[in-house]
Amino acid sequence: MSKRREMCRSASRFGASGRTNPGTTKHFIVVKDSNEGDDGLRGSERIAIRRNVFLNWQGGTESFVGIGNDGKPYHEAEHVWIQNNLMIGNSRADVIAPLTVYGARDVTFANNTVTGDLPADAYAFEIDRKGRNPRNEAIRFRNNIWSDHTGTMGPFSDGDRVDTTSLELENNLYWNGGRRILGGDLVSPLRRDARRVVRDPLLPTDHTSVVVPVWEETSFRSGAASILDEFARLVITYGEIPEESPAVGRALPIPAPPTDILGRPRDGEPDLGAFEVQAA
C-alpha cells in the first residue's frame, strides 16, 4: 500500500485577497508522514510532484518543496519523483532553498528549471537530517537547469555531508551570470558533476514585473481566461528556452520524463530543464 500524490501549481499573493502577509507560511508542498504507524504506514511512498510553477514566495524561511520535516526515526518519504517543474525567483523573501530533503530515501529531481534571483541559504537544495531521522539515501539530480542571470547566486548547496549517502549530480546546467558558482557545504557541482554544462541557458530574464495568477471576476489579471491558459503563459514567459540554448538536446534520455512541463512529448534527444523546444 502506498500514498500517491500529483501536485498542482503554487504561488503566494496575500495582498490580492485582502490579507496581511505574516511572513510565516510554510512550504508550497511538503511530503512527510507525521503520524508514524497509526494508519498502518510508515513514511510516504511513491510520490510524484510534476508540472508545477512555483513563484512569488511570501512565506517564512522555508522551501518551495520540502521532503520530510518532522524528525521521525524512519525515512519520512521514499520513491519520490520531482519532475518538469518551473521555480521562479521573483521575490525578496528569503528561502532555505527551493528544495529541502530531511530524512528521505530514493528521491529524484529531474528536468526542473530554477531561474531568477533567489535569496536563499542554498540556491539549489539543502539535504540534512532533523531530530531522529536516519541518513538520507539515494538522492539524485539530473537534467536540471539552475540559472541566476543576475550573478548573485549564493552557495549552491547546504547540509552536512555525513547525513547523506549516495548523492548524485549528473548532467545539469549551471549559470550564475558568468560569475563563479560556489558549491556550499554539501556538494560542488563543478567538482561532482562530470557531465555539467556551465553556460547561459538563454532563459527569459525579466522577473521584476511578474504578473502573478490572480483571478479578477471574469479573468486572470494577465487577461488569461482559464487556469490552463495562465499556466501556459507563466511557463512560456519565464521557462521557455530558444533553439540555440545550450540546454537543447543535452538531457539524458533516462530519467527524462516522456513529456515536458506543458504535457508535450519530448523527442529522442530531450532538452535540459522543464521545457522541450522540439515539442513546440
The total number of structural domains in the chain stands at: 1
Q: What does the buried/exposed string (b/e) look like for 212-235 if buried means 16 or more CB atoms within 10 Å of the residue's CB?
A: bbeeeeeebebebeeeeebbbbbb
Q: Which three cell numbers stand for residue 69?
A: 520535516
5 lies in some domain: no
208 lies in some domain: yes
168-221 pLDDT per residue, tens: 999 999 999 999 999 999 999 999 999 999 999 999 999 988 999 999 989 999
Which structural domain range is residue 112 located in?
Answer: 10-273
Burial of residue 209 (CB within 10 Å: 0-12, 13-18, 19+) is: exposed
1 lies in some domain: no
Of 24 and 211, more confident: 211
Q: Is the pLDDT of residue 4 over 50?
A: no
| pLDDT confidence bin for 36, thresholds 50/70/90 | confident
Distance CA 130, CA 102 (A): 6
Amino acid of residue 280? A
138 lies in some domain: yes
Mean pLDDT of 41-53: 94
242 lies in some domain: yes
142-152 pLDDT per residue, tens: 999 999 999 99
* pLDDT the model gives residue 279: 56
20 lies in some domain: yes
Q: Is the pLDDT of residue 7 over 60?
A: no
Model-level pTM?
Answer: 0.92
176 lies in some domain: yes
Distance CA 170, CA 149 (A): 22
4 lies in some domain: no
Q: Is the pLDDT of residue 3 over 70?
A: no
